[in-house]
Amino acid sequence: MRRFFESFSTKKFKYGSFSTLMILFVIAIMVIVNLLADQLKLTFDMSANKQYSLSEDSIKIARELTQDVTITALARTGEEGRMFEEAVGPLTFQRLLDEYAKSSSHIQLVYKDPYLYPAFVTQYAKDGEPIPINSVIVESGSLFKVIQANDMISTDFDYQNYSTYVKSIDIEPRVTNAINYVTSGASATAYTVSGSDELPLQDTLRSQLELANFEIKDVNLVTSEIPEDCTILFVTQPSRDWTASAAENVKTFLQNDGRAVFCVGAFGQEYPNLDSVLSSYGVRMGQYIVAENDPSHYAGNNRIYLLSDFAPHDITQPLLDKNYMPLLVQSSGVEKTELKKSSITIEPLLTTSKQAYGKTNPNTQTIEKEPDDQDGPFDLAVAITDAYATDEEHTTKIIFIANPTIIDESVNTAIRGVNWDFLINAMNWLQDKADTVSILPKTPETAEQLTMSSMQVLVLSMFSSIILPLIILGAGLTVWLRRRHS
């Protein structure tokens, strides 16, 4: 019995007791931390593309709200965390919606079972059309916007594997822009111009503009007048000049406080009627192709693939702060006319470096600067404001981008969406919106196979099978020797 009690005072027992207490202490801390995290709803998004988090722009919009917004998600009772489970995984949708409620006390998140509350859903149905499950209703005051379930996940078809896959997760841009819509009460209709074989807007750009709360329609300037509900006229590169009547139609629209975007260039072809519209506001299309001599301002070792600078402006500042550079391919420059009205202000938006030059000969065989070429720098895009007063205040606003590739999807993709961010910011400025942000869809995470060279495999194998066990064995032997001789 005496030996039994003496065993409690040995160094072996003391070390064992201390180790046990430390283990229990660590376990207790882990339990407390998990309980606190659960109570405080603390989460950390460790996904590569921040799939479960809102962007800084969405959080900023939510925090600056001054009126209450209700986000209602239509889900079956008990299945709130399984919305879009097959497409993006469990809880992804729920966590994103939770982030809105966490970001602002003015946002309330509600889940409604459409099968239990059919009358609630019916009041938001347009023309009696049913609202499918997994849809979202964003509401503030008397305004609301319904986001259909199939608008929040973009899919595409893989013709190699003959299967459909998720191309992008559009939940955040749809919900954030719906919040902007119901709190601002503003809607804009942009009309794209046709009649002279203009470049059409690709479906992806149309979708991106719709995400930013623009309704996109078309108008043929040859056969029709510009409709009264036109907020912004969207002019893309025509393959031939406008008719004189079409040009007069646009001039009349702009003189009546009109707003327009011109994405046009003129190198190698003349557009006198189209140019007459721009000349009315102090600018014209440059008859040259801009080339860069500064390697930091062109891409792919091609001097006409211009990485331009953003000039300070309300439109460009959000992108300038992030050190972004847009990409324009085969761009003309913006030329200022000698005469313009004193009421007109022309502000640069996109500029080249001082080393840029303009190739004036369309038949040249060299990209190098020639004696007849124009010296830079050049403005590639400008914002024009014509503000004057008669018996009342008048304001005309124009964005002139001397290059049609600003609307090209492949160019925009190559620059990770910067071109269209700039374009949407410019269109927001045209309608006097102070908030000039564009929320990009998220790309779903995909499993990537780890590839290693034979040398990397050998080093990793030696480390895991020989070196690491020897380190552990050495550490254990050291501790044992110290305890034995202490």
Residue 71 forms part of a structural domain? yes
Mean pLDDT within 361-371: 87
DSSP category for residue 463: I
> For tokens 């969405």, what's the residue?
58
d(CA 115, CA 61): 33
In this structure, are 66 and 103 located in the same domain?
yes
Question: Last residue of a domain, which of 381, 400, 430?
Answer: 430
Buried b (16+ CB within 10 A) or exposed e, 460-481: eeeeeeeeeeeeeeeeeeeeee
pLDDT at 16: 60
Digit-coded pLDDT (tens) for 170-183: 888 888 888 888 88
Digit-coded pLDDT (tens) for 75-93: 888 887 777 776 666 677 8
d(CA 49, CA 225): 46
d(CA 51, CA 53): 6
Both tokens of 300, joined, read: 């792919």
d(CA 400, CA 408): 16
Residues 6+ apart with CB under 8 A from 262: 235, 278, 398, 399, 400, 401
**Percent helix, percent strand, percent coil in the chain, to nearest 5:** 35, 25, 40
d(CA 152, CA 72): 15
Task: Please answer whether residues 402 and 317 qualify as being in contact, where contact means their C-beta atoms are separated by less than 8 angstroms.
Answer: no
pLDDT at 448: 44
Residue 479 forms part of a structural domain? no
pLDDT at 353: 95
Beta strands, E only, 313-433: 327-329, 334-336, 344-351, 357-359, 374-375, 379-389, 393-401
> For tokens 């239990």, what's the residue?
116
Domain that residue 147 falls in:
56-168
The answer to which of 85-94, 130-139, 209-218, 280-289 has the lowest mean pLDDT is 85-94
In this structure, are 109 and 196 located in the same domain?
no
Both tokens of 286, joined, read: 């440059």
Q: Where residue 449 falls among pLDDT bands split at 50, 70, 90? A: very low
Angle (CA) 153-155-161 rounded to 5° is: 145
In this structure, are 127 and 217 located in the same domain?
no
Q: Regarding predicted confidence, which is higher, 420 or 1?
A: 420
Q: How many CB atoms lie within 10 A of CB 140?
A: 21
In this structure, are 71 and 219 located in the same domain?
no
Digit-coded pLDDT (tens) for 170-226: 888 888 888 888 887 666 899 999 999 999 999 889 988 887 778 899 999 999 999
Among 155, 156, 154, 149, residue whose Cα is nearest residue 175: 149
DSSP category for residue 213: T
> For tokens 């590169």, what's the residue?
237
Residue 203 forms part of a structural domain? yes
Per the structure, the count of domains in the chain is: 3
Both tokens of 140, joined, read: 């503030």
Task: Please answer whether residues 373 and 359 qualify as being in contact, where contact means their C-beta atoms are separated by less than 8 angstroms.
Answer: yes
pLDDT above 60 (res 447)? no
Phi/psi-derived region of residue 417, left when phi > 0, alpha when psi is between -120 and 50, beta in every other case: left
Mean pLDDT within 105-116: 91
Q: What is the CA radius of gyration of the chain?
A: 31
Angle (CA) 109-170-44 rounded to 5° is: 60
DSSP category for residue 227: P
Is the pTM for the entire model greater than 0.85?
Answer: no
In this structure, are 163 and 201 located in the same domain?
no
DSSP category for residue 324: -
Residue 463 forms part of a structural domain? no
In this structure, are 352 and 224 located in the same domain?
yes
Q: How many CB atoms lie within 10 A of CB 429?
A: 21
Element (H, E) at 194: strand 188-194
In this structure, are 7 and 145 located in the same domain?
no
Q: How many CB atoms lie within 10 A of CB 306?
A: 29
Residue 317 forms part of a structural domain? yes
d(CA 96, CA 358): 48
In this structure, are 251 and 198 located in the same domain?
yes
Distances (CA, A) of 58 to 51, 61, 153, 165, 359: 14, 5, 18, 26, 43
Residue 402 forms part of a structural domain? yes
Residue 234 forms part of a structural domain? yes
Digit-coded pLDDT (tens) for 308-341: 999 999 999 888 888 899 999 999 999 999 877 8
Both tokens of 193, joined, read: 């111009």
Query: Domain containing 74 — which CATH number?
Result: 3.40.30
